[in-house]
Amino acid sequence: MTQIGTSAHPLRVAVIGAGPAGFYAAGHLLKQSDLVIQVDLYDRLPTPHGLVRAGVAPDHQKIKNVIRVYDKIADHPNFRFFGNVDIGVHVSLEDLKAHYHQICFSTGAQVDRSLGIPGEDLQGCHSATAFVAWYNGHPDYRDLTFDLSHERIAIVGVGNVAVDIARILSKSVDELARTDIADHALEVLRESKVRALFMLGRRGPAQAAFTNPEARELGELEQATTLVRPDEAALDPLSLADLEANPDRTTQTKLELIQGFVREADEDKPRKLHLRFLVSPTEIYGDGSGHVAGIRLVKNELYRAENGTLRPRSTDQFEDLPVGLVFRSVGYRGVALPGLPFHERWGVILNEAGRVVEAQGTPVTGLYTSGWIKRGPTGVIGTNKACSVETVEGMLEDFRAGRLLSPTAPEPESAEGMIHARQPDVVSFNEWKKLDALEVAKGEPDQRPRVKFVRVEEMLGALDRG
C-alpha cells in the first residue's frame, strides 16, 4: 500500500490565498518533521501577502515586517507559489481534488458589509474595503475614483479600519510621501480639501472597536485635532456598572484616551477629526443630482441584550450631518467559493475548527479553511497564526486517520503542468521576488519603502511576459 507522507509519496496540500492565514497554514504544515509534506500556495494576484500588502495602512510599515516570517516559510524546498491563478476561473475545485490530498481555503474576507439604509447607492458613498484597497494599490481597485474636493467626510464605524481611513485622510502628503501608499492615491490626496472628518460609533466610548495604540495615534496627528463632545465621552450607567464589576485596564485606558479628546481644537492644525458616539445613520441623503449631501443620524441609548452585551437602541432624537462623502467601515465579509458550503449571513465557509462541513455538520473529506473566511473578519494579523495552526492540526489528525482525498495525479509536475496549461501567466515565488526587488528599487530615490506595481499587466511586463 502506498505510504503517504514519505519522500516517495509526499502528502500534497494546496493552500488557496497567500495572505497571513495561508502562509501560517503552509508554515505549520512544513514544520512537521515526521512527515514529508509539499505545499502549493495559490493566489489570485501575482503578488503574495494579502492584507499585509493591500490592507495594512501605508503609514504602519513596521507591521509589514511580518513578511520576513513568510519569506522564511517560502524558502522551504517543499513550498511553491502559484500567483495570478484564480481558483474557480483558471482552476476548478475538481482540478484541485485531482492533484492534492488536502486543500485549505484561506481566501480572507474580500468585500464589505453594507448598512442596509437608504442612500447607500448615491455617488460619494463608498466602502472602506474599496478605499483601503485603492490607496494600497490593489490592482482590482486601481481605477476607482474618490472625489476629495469635499470638505466634510463621514466614516461609519469606529473599528481599526475606520481609524486607518481617518488617519490617511488627516495626514499631509509630506507625511504620506515617505510610505508605500500608491502613487495614484498620493496624487488625489495632494489635492484634498478635507477639513472635517466624522467617525460615527453606534455604541459608546467603552464599546469602541478600535484598539488603544490606534486611539493614541489619533491624539498625535500633526495636521488634525481629534475631538470628542463631552456628553458623548461620558460613560452611560450600564457601561459604568460593567466597568465597576470588571475593572478592565484596556477599557479604562481607552476611556482615558477618549476623554483626553474632550478639548479645544488646535487652530494651527488645518483638520478636525470628530469622534462621535451613540449615533447610527438612518439614511444617506442626496443633493438632488444623485450625490451624497449628508447623513441623517439617530441618537442611540444602550440596553443590555439577553446575552449580557450592551447593544444600541435608537431614541427619537435625529440630527442631519452635512457631508460630501461617506465611507462605510462596518466590517469585511467573505465571498462564497464555488462548490463550498457557505454561511451567507456570517460570510464564512461552513466549518468546524477549520474542517469544512456540510449544513448538517458532516465533514467534507479533504477540505479545510483558515483565517477570516473561516472565523470572520476579526483580530490582528497574528490571530491568524493560531487560527491556521488549529486547522492544520485537524488536517494532520485526518491524515493519520486516513481521511484524505484520492488524487489521480498527485505528482508535483502534474499540478504544475495543469496550472501552466490553464494560466500561462502564472507567477512563481522567484518571479515575485524579482517584482519585490524592482518595487523596492523604485522607492529608494525618495526614501520610500517601495513603489508598488498597481496593474497586473505592469507586473507581467516587468517580468518580460507577453
Contacting positions for ligand NAP (CB under 6 A): 115, 156-162, 164, 201-203, 207, 209, 214, 280, 329-332, 377-380
Q: Tell me 65's DSSP state.
A: G
Shortest CB 211 distance to ligand NAP, Å: 6
From start to end of 180-247, where are the E strands?
196-200, 224-228
Shortest CB 372 distance to ligand NAP, Å: 8
Pairwise CA distance, residues 356 & 364, whole Å:
6
CA dist 319 → 124, 125, 280, 316, 323 (Å): 20, 19, 10, 10, 13
Shortest CB 376 distance to ligand NAP, Å: 9
Residue keyed to cell 435625529: 318
> Which lies closer to ligand NAP via its Cβ, residue 13 or residue 56?
56
Q: Which residue is nearest to ligand NAP (CB)?
A: 159
> Which lies closer to ligand NAP via its Cβ, residue 266 or residue 303?
303
> Which lies closer to ligand NAP via its Cβ, residue 111 or residue 240?
111
Shortest CB 65 distance to ligand NAP, Å: 14
> Which lies closer to ligand NAP via its Cβ, residue 38 or residue 280?
280
> Which lies closer to ligand NAP via its Cβ, residue 150 or residue 202?
202
Shortest CB 160 distance to ligand NAP, Å: 3
> Which lies closer to ligand NAP via its Cβ, residue 330 or residue 349?
330
Q: Are 53 and 435 contacting, i.e. CB atoms less than 8 angstroms apart? A: no
User: Rounded to an integer, what is the distance from CA 446 to the centroid of its chain?
Assistant: 28
Shortest CB 388 distance to ligand NAP, Å: 16
User: Rounded to an integer, what is the distance from CA 163 to the centroid of its chain?
Assistant: 14
- Alpha helices of 149-303 — where are they, by DSSP H? 160-170, 173-176, 183-190, 212-218, 230-233, 237-245, 249-259
Question: Around 173, how many Cα atoms within 13 Å sit in the side-chain half-sphere?
Answer: 13
| Residue 54: how many other CB atoms lie within 10 Å | 24
> Which lies closer to ligand NAP via its Cβ, residue 154 or residue 451?
154
Shortest CB 272 distance to ligand NAP, Å: 20
Q: Are 92 and 46 contacting, i.e. CB atoms less than 8 angstroms apart? A: no
